């Protein structure tokens, strides 16, 4: 895989071919671009073909063997349900998003600030490390029944659970980033008279950025998991609640429609952070 990629690449630095052989660089690049376009068209065709085979094949097999709907509904039924029932599912999606965004905003902010502060004091970091590790490794879902007992069946316990799940993930990754010390770069800023705060903003934060973005992505995905899980434990709304209700009432097409919405959410989170990473941490790749 690696070899093939290397074989495809012209060993230049980006599109910068500074010296006099600019014309060669341009033709080479356009040729490369052309082949890349052709390849991506082929790839798209392959992706569509595989998807069609999986969906169509599944449909055919489930109908041919007359598999009952409560075991596995055919794709057509799931897609129909997604369209027909979307109006009913949408408010629940809204509830889940409210919990996810509020909990994540709280958890991620606290995680980021803690990471930035703690890494400046190695001694404090050593003392606090076991608790952070505990927060990371304990499934926060386990606390949901207790939270419901204390805060009722509304948004509150779920938002707390999401914050507790995403915050530590953001924190440990961001802390790893902030711990990367490049003495030469700090000396550079210092040689221009930079203050500790300027060094933090202009050197440490950008250097930590790739790890911060990874942490934010993992935190968001853990937040989504925990939001849905908390909804399944108790309360009368949210996508997780729909999952328990639909499975209890054996409404399998609706059940899988919700699953489809959840995977779309997860993929959107991934893509969003992929793009953010490309923009803000692209320098590292």
Contact residues toward other proteins (CB under 8 A) are 13-14, 16, 18, 184-185, 187-194, 198, 202-203, 206-207, 209, 281, 283-284
Q: Which is nearer to other proteins, 230 or 281 (by Cβ)?
A: 281
- What letter does residue 249 receive in the DSSP assignment? T
Cβ 180 to other proteins shortest distance, Å: 12
Q: Cβ atoms within 10 A of the Cβ of 216, count?
A: 24
Looking at beta carbons only, is 141 or 189 nearer to other proteins? 189
Q: CA-to-CA distance for 261 and 85, rounded, in angstroms?
A: 12
- Give CA separation, 27 vs 5, 15, 18, 282, in Å: 20, 11, 15, 26
- Token pair recorded at residue 129: 């490390």
Sign of CA dihedral 233, 238, 239, 244: positive
The distance of closest approach from Cβ of residue 15 to other proteins in the complex, given in angstroms and rounded to an integer, is 8
Nearest approach in angstroms of CB 192 to other proteins is 4
Q: How far is the CB of 13 from other proteins (least distance, A)?
A: 4
Contacts of 140 by beta carbon, 8 Å cutoff, 6+ apart? 161, 164, 165, 226
Whether 171 contacts 215, CB under 8 Å: yes
Helical ranges in 17-121 per DSSP H: 22-64, 75-84, 86-118
The residue (of 13 and 65) whose beta carbon lies closer to other proteins is 13
Q: Would you say 60 or 274 has its CB closer to other proteins?
A: 274
Least Cβ distance, residue 76 to other proteins (angstroms): 49
Residue number, 105 or 194, with CB nearest to other proteins: 194
Distances in Å between the Cα of 71 and the Cα atoms of 54, 97, 167, 186, 252 are 18, 29, 38, 61, 8
Nearer to other proteins, 179 or 202 (CB): 202
CB of 10 to other proteins, least distance (A): 14
How crowded is the C-beta side of 117, counted as CA atoms within 13 Å? 8
CA 121 to chain centre: 30
Residue closer to other proteins, measured from CB, 65 or 283: 283
Q: How far is the CB of 19 from other proteins (least distance, A)?
A: 10
């Amino acid at each position: 895989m690696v070899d093939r990629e290397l074989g495809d690449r012209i060993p230049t630095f980006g599109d910068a071919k500074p010296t006099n052989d600019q014309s060669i660089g341009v033709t080479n690049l356009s040729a490369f671009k052309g082949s890349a376009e052709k390849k991506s068209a082929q790839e798209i065709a392959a992706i569509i073909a595989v998807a069609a085979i999986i969906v169509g094949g599944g449909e055919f097999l489930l109908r041919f063997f007359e598999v009952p709907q409560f075991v596995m509904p055919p794709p057509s039924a799931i897609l129909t349900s997604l369209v027909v029932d979307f109006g009913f599912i949408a408010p629940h999606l809204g509830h889940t998003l409210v919990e996810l965004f509020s909990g994540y905003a709280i958890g991620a902010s606290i995680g980021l600030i803690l990471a930035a502060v703690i890494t400046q004091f190695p001694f404090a970091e050593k003392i606090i490390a076991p608790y952070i590790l505990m927060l990371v490794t304990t499934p926060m879902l386990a606390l949901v029944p207790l939270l419901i007992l204390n805060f009722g069946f509304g948004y509150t316990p779920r938002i707390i659970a999401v914050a507790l799940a995403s915050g530590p993930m953001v924190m440990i990754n961001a802390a790893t980033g902030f711990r990367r010390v490049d003495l030469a770069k700090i000396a550079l800023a210092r040689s221009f008279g930079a203050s500790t705060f300027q060094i933090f903003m202009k050197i440490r934060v950008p250097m930590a950025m790739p790890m911060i973005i990874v942490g934010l992505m993992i935190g968001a995905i853990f937040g989504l998991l925990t939001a849905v899980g908390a909804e399944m434990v108790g309360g009368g709304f949210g996508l997780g609640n729909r999952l328990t209700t639909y499975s209890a009432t054996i409404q399998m097409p609706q059940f899988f429609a919700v699953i489809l919405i959840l995977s779309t959410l997860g993929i959107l989170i991934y893509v969003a952070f992929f793009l953010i990473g490309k923009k803000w941490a692209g320098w590292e790749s």
